[in-house]
Amino acid sequence: MRAFVFLGAGRVGVVDRAIPVAGPNDAIIRTTASLICTSDVHTVSGGLPIPEGRILGHESVGVVHAVGSSVVRYKVGDRVAVNAVTPCGSCDGCQRGFTSQCGGMLGGYKFTNQKDGNLAEYFHVNDADFNLALIPAGVTDEQALYTTDMLSTGFIGAEHAQIPLGGSVAIFAQGPVGLSATIGATLCGAGLIIAVEGKPDRAALARRYGADIVIDPGVVDPVSEIMSLTGDGVDAAIDALGHQKTFEACVKVTKAGGVISNIGYHGDGDTTALSIPLAEFGLGMGDKQIRTALCRGGRVRTTRLLRLIESRRFDPTLMTTHKFPFEDVATAFRLMQTKQDNIIKPLITF
Amino acid sequence: MRAFVFLGAGRVGVVDRAIPVAGPNDAIIRTTASLICTSDVHTVSGGLPIPEGRILGHESVGVVHAVGSSVVRYKVGDRVAVNAVTPCGSCDGCQRGFTSQCGGMLGGYKFTNQKDGNLAEYFHVNDADFNLALIPAGVTDEQALYTTDMLSTGFIGAEHAQIPLGGSVAIFAQGPVGLSATIGATLCGAGLIIAVEGKPDRAALARRYGADIVIDPGVVDPVSEIMSLTGDGVDAAIDALGHQKTFEACVKVTKAGGVISNIGYHGDGDTTALSIPLAEFGLGMGDKQIRTALCRGGRVRTTRLLRLIESRRFDPTLMTTHKFPFEDVATAFRLMQTKQDNIIKPLITF
Amino acid sequence: MRAFVFLGAGRVGVVDRAIPVAGPNDAIIRTTASLICTSDVHTVSGGLPIPEGRILGHESVGVVHAVGSSVVRYKVGDRVAVNAVTPCGSCDGCQRGFTSQCGGMLGGYKFTNQKDGNLAEYFHVNDADFNLALIPAGVTDEQALYTTDMLSTGFIGAEHAQIPLGGSVAIFAQGPVGLSATIGATLCGAGLIIAVEGKPDRAALARRYGADIVIDPGVVDPVSEIMSLTGDGVDAAIDALGHQKTFEACVKVTKAGGVISNIGYHGDGDTTALSIPLAEFGLGMGDKQIRTALCRGGRVRTTRLLRLIESRRFDPTLMTTHKFPFEDVATAFRLMQTKQDNIIKPLITF
Amino acid sequence: MRAFVFLGAGRVGVVDRAIPVAGPNDAIIRTTASLICTSDVHTVSGGLPIPEGRILGHESVGVVHAVGSSVVRYKVGDRVAVNAVTPCGSCDGCQRGFTSQCGGMLGGYKFTNQKDGNLAEYFHVNDADFNLALIPAGVTDEQALYTTDMLSTGFIGAEHAQIPLGGSVAIFAQGPVGLSATIGATLCGAGLIIAVEGKPDRAALARRYGADIVIDPGVVDPVSEIMSLTGDGVDAAIDALGHQKTFEACVKVTKAGGVISNIGYHGDGDTTALSIPLAEFGLGMGDKQIRTALCRGGRVRTTRLLRLIESRRFDPTLMTTHKFPFEDVATAFRLMQTKQDNIIKPLITF
């Protein structure tokens, strides 16, 4: 099969690889469509150390090609979505309910990180009964792809925010994760959604997905603006970027008793620490909470997200700005590196 | 009346003052006993800017001396406890359930901070129906005093920690707040309580209050020791000191999905920020939570804490290491400043 | 002033009454618009014993006419909404967070029940700072009226249902409370909303407010139909009617671990007990929960609901099927009694 | 091997059976000790239809005799406890967090109900990695046995009760499940524990385990007594018996906003419905909650309960009133049927 792999030191390419084989609890999926994630870019640029030759990608859907002897829920030919996070369901983290922390911190994220990813013609899924989800007939492959990472990550950011019905939320950055958090905030009943985003196309999409106000951080200071708009701050703030500056802004704009919900990856900077401004944190006694999350996986979660799409609550494919056949995946990848041409998400078809 | 006041620039003293007067919703309490808090020391040393002449103290109990015209629950002569935090019950913070953040961040803390404190022969209580609590006959004044701050603060630290029944918790520092958090952890069903404390008398008291293990940070590194004892860290860690070092240790020893619960006052250092170590925080995606709290007040809360004492679940007076009549309050205060003579809490009687 | 009162034994009428007077914490509102509630009909027919001459109504908005000496947040001329439930904010129920149970079971419901209601040219509001909410300029009186009972009741039904994002919910009956629960279910992120309603106009409105499927209980058995649609039942079921039959159906269609959320008034039947079918309740071990609620009041709650309307998340006035000037309130009331002419809610203007 | 089996129509006996065989994810345990449960008595008397020859029992500990090829956490010779409930960890119920409802309502309860139980010299455990728990050296077999059902059931009753720190709880019946709920209530920080029990030895043990007050329902009416003791009722009530009368009493003694937590098996009566008294239920609007639960299983849960015993928080073996070698299991069983000789739990050793 053809696979898109890491070739070391910032280099990538399509190579030939053997089709993977399923152990007793596993499944092999024939890929029909994928999305490329900014995490793939981080990985290739050295943000996550992986061996040369490792297949990239963790946002793919497809058709079941083979199942292991213990798999009971799925059969060859089923059209399925697989989340980027594929927990075992049994370890301490999973039994405690933190399936994304399967086997240890961030351990639910196995594609590319612990084994080959799924930007390839076929891919392997551990614990298939736990992790595969049937795609309903009314949901396209392209739509289903968004449940594998973007929506699930954005939504957990909104869920963790614990926005009361009619409450207010600020969401920093409107890339695909932030846009998904904006959709999530509408689904969680926010009464005032303030998005912070400078790129006009992303700002427009944020409005379309439910943002009531979009602040351009290149024009005004978001912290002052949000305090001015709300008086005492927002009920919750979501950091969908993962920078010291956005995290700090989240702490500052959240009212006493509010929630700072982080879904940004804070591993990309040159620092080993994240700094909380003490005054706005009530000197550690302001009843503010900081929540953090990694994308949530699993069959039940994915099935619910697919149902929201099937019920036409929103259309995630507005985030698809580009489309490429798999043979041009390297071109798509370069675009994600440069973020040129107003790219949000590139769809890869097989 | 006689009152213990701030005289500016690290100076304190007992002076004569008029007995306060009750507005319609208020009460005036004749003080029978008080405790001095380390927060009083912080305040006098400049940690909290207050005007000269302000009465110190926020941990007092007494007898109702007068009530305002709208007060319906209490009458002259009732023996009552009053929490250090006295919310209004009506503002946004209070209606949202964050009564300690009454009227704004940390705004529930009114004694000394916003008005005269209660290290005086009489003191004023706002919103008396909301904030007074009858002391049951089976509870002494000395016992009741501990509900006014130490126990309520320590317990919210344990409650926020969300320790599962039989789960593990590490509590950093075993001053009176940390000791109260240790009691709170037993009341919350912790199966393994690891206290971190170097002073032998406090360590002994921690064991008596339920700590299974006490680590001396002068002898071993608490982080390594806790990781070694638990393998994957604790379900929750409580910072009862409020230093960068203890907060950081809390983040490090908490397992993925665990809770860092802060009840330490982080305003005493020379920094304006609190630093989170990113690796152990899962780069912001480890499902760790940081909770913060200020002491919880209110009649219902205080009544419940009094009932725990009445039901002999624990005896808080083991924390009383010294006793003074009110005329010697300055001596007691100096001892709290120096922490000499193994002082934990000094009881002041009127 | 003119007021719509209970005249005993099923009789009502408009009479002259003195304008009420405000105590220190109270406000007097000059009514601008009201809705009539089915609860008013229940009350007049003897469901709730009240003295003759008691003013009816609890869904009104207006302009502040007078405030008591202790009121600080509002002034004469403010345009305000007042919830049907007006808690004190201070009693045990309120401090425990159950403001609708102020002063005892169902005690937050004071209009008509404990004192004069607000189908009158002026009305009295206790604890004005706690209970009044400013109506934003972008929200009409008619829209604001729906926050005073229908939306707040329907929404707490949806909130109590704890529907996971993308989860399924069945809502029994689509009167104004059930329709509000349907709106609430969309705001809570339900992925599948099944409404049960036989009247075509209400069914159509349910679809418009977000129901994915509407089942006509006159045509099919809702329990069989819901089990057939879902396989294992719904995540939650809401009883918005308050009959044994709908409650029982809720228990039956909810999957193990699901929630039955009641917002129906079960005081209208000829029985003193509500019956749970044991087999579908897992013999008391099926991890099903039954939640119950009375409409939620308070300034913060009402303000958030007004913000949802201001942000155009939905338009509640689609429920207004009829409009009358106050002089024709008796005609409107008779229509609510007979439910003729497909009435849902009649607007009364002053 | 020797096994204690159901022989049809109220008959039981010890027979010879083949040692079970482990599938890939399973383990075979050599039993070292067991307890007999009242549920076994219910089953034999026809409460749960099972085929003749089915091995009884679900409260056993032992030593790993064999493991399947996919089991990674355990090896032959490990001393382990196995909960009565053995979830798969992967089905919808498990992924939703309701592991006791594995595969469908009450489906986590597999021993005796779905397959052979464990009152036998060897027994089979499905999903061994999920369900086995190592017994710490400091915990005896007899102590560990109590984690397999009694403590886990009693504790979930107390956890579901959501008792605030210092809050009040009434627990109806002090058999081994009720006694465990009493222990659980102390671990959850209840400030007032009222047990209802008529047998003097059980009442005495309830006091020893933390009950502040024990009411004898043969002497006074528990509902009147609890209302008289508390004024407005308790924060929570636990039905540990499973009768209409105790359930109804729970509803009546719980204050508005309180929780009725059921852990009693309501399948033993001659009725198919459970009746809620409407007046005390606030006509379905009193903010009361009814929670229900089946014993919680799984490795992590069991490990935590074992840790509580290891940390000497309580000693469950006070409930062991009788001891028998396995050859006398039929005698022990008869005693559990008749409840003679003040039996609470009989220990069976192998």
The phi and psi torsions of D282 (rounded to 5 degrees) equal: 65, 30
Residue B340 neighbours by CB distance under 10 Å:
9
SS in 3 state form for chain A?
CEEEEEEECCEEEEEECCCCCCCCCCEEEEEEEEECCHHHHHHHCCCCCCCCCCECCCEEEEEEEEECCCCCCCCCCCEEEECCECCCCCCHHHHCCCHHHCCCCCCCECECCCECCCCECEEEECCHHHHEEECCCCCCHHHHHHHHCHHHHHHHHHHHCCCCCCCEEEEECCCHHHHHHHHHHHHCCCCEEEEECCCHHHHHHHHHCCCCEEECCCCCCHHHHHHHHHCCCEEEEEECCCCHHHHHHHHHHEEEEEEEEECCCCCCCCCCEEEEECHHHHHHCCCCEEEECCCCCCHHHHHHHHHHHHCCCCCHHHHEEEEEEHHHHHHHHHHHHHCCCCCCEEEEEC
Alpha carbon distance B168, B234 (integer Å): 5
Tokens coding C202 = 């209400």
pLDDT digits (tens, 9 = 90+) for C292-324: 999 999 999 999 999 999 999 999 999 999 999
Cross-chain Cβ contact C191/A311 below 8 Å = yes
Tokens coding A119 = 């930007």
Cβ of residue D53 closer than 8 Å to a chain A Cβ: no
| Residues in contact with C137: Cβ distance below 8 Å, sequence separation at least 6, in sequence order | none
Give the number of beta-carbon pairs within 8 Å between A and D.
38
Nearest CA to C275 out of C233, C243, C253 is that of C243
Alpha carbon distance D139, D334 (integer Å): 29
Give the domain-ending residue among B252, B267, B292. B292
The residue of chain A nearest to residue B257, with distances taken between CA atoms, is A98
Give the domain-ending residue among C268, C292, C316. C292
Q: Three-state DSSP class for C197?
A: coil
pLDDT, residue B38, reads 93
> Mean pLDDT over residues B64-76, rounded?
97
Residue window 1-30, chain B: list those with CB within 8 Å of chain C. Answer: 24-25
- The DSSP secondary structure of B96-161, one letter per residue, reads TT-GGGTTSTTTTB-BTTTB--SSBSEEEESSHHHHEEEPPTTS-HHHHHGGGTHHHHHHHHHHHT
| Residues in contact with B172: Cβ distance below 8 Å, sequence separation at least 6, in sequence order | B178, B196, B222, B237, B238, B239, B240, B241, B246, B249, B250, B264
pLDDT digits (tens, 9 = 90+) for C9-25: 889 999 999 999 999 99
pLDDT, residue C46, reads 87
- The DSSP secondary structure of C99-133, one letter per residue, reads GGGTTSTTTTB-BTTTB--SSBSEEEESSHHHHEE
On whether both D273 and D179 belong to a single domain, the answer is: yes
**What is the number of domains present in chain B?**
2
Please check the confidence at residue A236 and state whether its pLDDT lies above 80. Answer: yes
Alpha carbon distance A206, A193 (integer Å): 10
Please check the confidence at residue A47 and state whether its pLDDT lies above 90. Answer: no
Which residues of chain C lie closer than 8 angstroms to A135, CB-CB? none
Which residues of chain C lie closer than 8 angstroms to B90, CB-CB? 89, 127, 129-130
Q: Taking the C-alpha atoms of D332, D338, D343 and D346 in order, what is their torsion angle to the nearest 10 degrees?
A: 20
On whether both C167 and C286 belong to a single domain, the answer is: yes
| Residues in contact with A313: Cβ distance below 8 Å, sequence separation at least 6, in sequence order | A187, C186, C191
Cβ of residue D92 closer than 8 Å to a chain A Cβ: yes
The alpha carbon dihedral of C335, C338, C343, C345 has a sign of positive
Cross-chain Cβ contact A275/B276 below 8 Å = yes
Q: Three-state DSSP class for C316?
A: helix
Cross-chain Cβ contact B304/D191 below 8 Å = yes
On whether both D332 and D243 belong to a single domain, the answer is: no
Cβ of residue A262 closer than 8 Å to a chain B Cβ: yes
Q: Three-state DSSP class for D268?
A: coil
- Which amino acid type is present at position B125? V
Tokens coding C247 = 């409650």
Which residue, chain included where needed, has tokens 């380390």?
Answer: B38
pLDDT, residue B271, reads 82
pLDDT, residue B47, reads 82
Q: Give the pLDDT band (50/70/90) at residue C47.
A: confident
Helices within chain C (DSSP H only): 38-44, 92-95, 128-131, 141-145, 150-160, 176-187, 200-208, 222-230, 244-253, 299-310, 329-338
Contact criterion met (CB below 8 Å) for A223 and C343: no
Which residues of chain B lie closer than 8 angstroms to A91, CB-CB? none
On whether both C212 and C232 belong to a single domain, the answer is: yes
On whether both D272 and D306 belong to a single domain, the answer is: no
On whether both A83 and A45 belong to a single domain, the answer is: yes
Please check the confidence at residue B48 and state whether its pLDDT lies above 90. Answer: no
Contact criterion met (CB below 8 Å) for A155 and A294: no
D343: alpha, beta or left, given left = phi > 0 and alpha = psi -120 to 50? beta
Weakest-pLDDT range from A344-348, B40-44, B102-106, C142-146: B40-44
On whether both D56 and D20 belong to a single domain, the answer is: yes
pLDDT, residue A333, reads 97
Please check the confidence at residue C215 and state whether its pLDDT lies above 80. Answer: yes
Please check the confidence at residue A270 and state whether its pLDDT lies above 80. Answer: no
Q: Give the pLDDT band (50/70/90) at residue B176.
A: very high
* Burial class of residue B288 in the structure, from the number of CB atoms within 10 Å of its CB (0-12 exposed, 13-18 middle, 19+ buried): buried
Residue window 299-328, chain C: list those with CB within 8 Å of chain A. Answer: 303-308, 310-311, 313
Angle between helices D244-253 and D222-230 (to 10 degrees): 20
Q: Three-state DSSP class for C180?
A: helix
| Residues in contact with B29: Cβ distance below 8 Å, sequence separation at least 6, in sequence order | B60, B61, B62, B63, B64, B65, B80, B82, B118, B122, B123, B124, B125, B132
Contact criterion met (CB below 8 Å) for A34 and A59: yes
On whether both C90 and C195 belong to a single domain, the answer is: no
Alpha carbon distance A268, A266 (integer Å): 6
On whether both C36 and C121 belong to a single domain, the answer is: yes
- The DSSP secondary structure of B300-350, one letter per residue, reads HHHHHHHHHHHTTS--GGGGEEEEEEGGGHHHHHHHHHHT-TT-SEEEEE-
Please check the confidence at residue A253 and state whether its pLDDT lies above 90. Answer: yes
Q: Give the pLDDT band (50/70/90) at residue C48.
A: confident
On whether both C136 and C7 belong to a single domain, the answer is: yes
Give the domain-ending residue among D251, D274, D292. D292
Alpha carbon distance D180, A155 (integer Å): 39
Which residues of chain A lie closer than 8 angstroms to B97, CB-CB? 257
The secondary structure element, H or E, covering residue D303 is helix D299-310
Secondary structure of chain B: what % helix, strand, coil (to 5)?
Answer: 30, 25, 40
What are residue B274's DSSP bridge partners? A276
- ∠ CA B36-B42-B48, rounded to 5°: 120
Q: Residue A271 is part of a domain; what is its CATH number?
A: 3.40.50.720
pLDDT, residue B113, reads 95
State the smallest CA–CA distance between residue B19 and chain D in angstroms: 34
- The DSSP secondary structure of B38-83, one letter per residue, reads HHHHHHHTTSS---TT-B---EEEEEEEEE-TT--S--TT-EEEE-
Please check the confidence at residue B208 and state whether its pLDDT lies above 80. Answer: yes
| Residues in contact with A159: Cβ distance below 8 Å, sequence separation at least 6, in sequence order | A184, A188, C165
pLDDT, residue B144, reads 98
Tokens coding D148 = 């397999």
pLDDT, residue D159, reads 98
Alpha carbon distance B84, B58 (integer Å): 5
Cross-chain Cβ contact C95/B301 below 8 Å = yes
The parts of chain D modelled with pLDDT lower than 70 are none
The phi and psi torsions of C247 (rounded to 5 degrees) equal: -60, -45
Contact criterion met (CB below 8 Å) for D172 and D249: yes
Average pLDDT, chain A: 97
pLDDT, residue D179, reads 98
On whether both B141 and B27 belong to a single domain, the answer is: yes
What does DSSP assign to residue C139?
S
Residue C135 belongs to what domain range? 2-149+295-349
Which residue, chain included where needed, has tokens 């004892």?
Answer: B229
Cross-chain Cβ contact C166/A305 below 8 Å = yes
pLDDT digits (tens, 9 = 90+) for C55-68: 999 999 999 999 99
Which residue, chain included where needed, has tokens 């480890």?
Answer: B286
Average pLDDT, chain C: 97
On whether both D304 and D182 belong to a single domain, the answer is: no
Residue B33 to residues B39, B58, B127, Cα–Cα distance (Å): 18, 11, 21
Alpha carbon distance A274, D184 (integer Å): 39
Residue of A311, A312, A314 to mutate for C, most C C-beta atoms under 10 A: A311
Q: Residue B67 is part of a domain; what is its CATH number?
A: 3.90.180.10
Please check the confidence at residue A310 and state whether its pLDDT lies above 80. Answer: yes
Please check the confidence at residue C201 and state whether its pLDDT lies above 80. Answer: yes
pLDDT digits (tens, 9 = 90+) for A132-161: 999 999 999 999 999 999 999 999 999 999
Alpha carbon distance A274, B279 (integer Å): 10
The percent of residues in chain A predicted with pLDDT above 90, rounded, is: 96
Give the number of beta-carbon pairs within 8 Å between C and D.
156
The residue of chain D nearest to residue B164, with distances taken between CA atoms, is D304
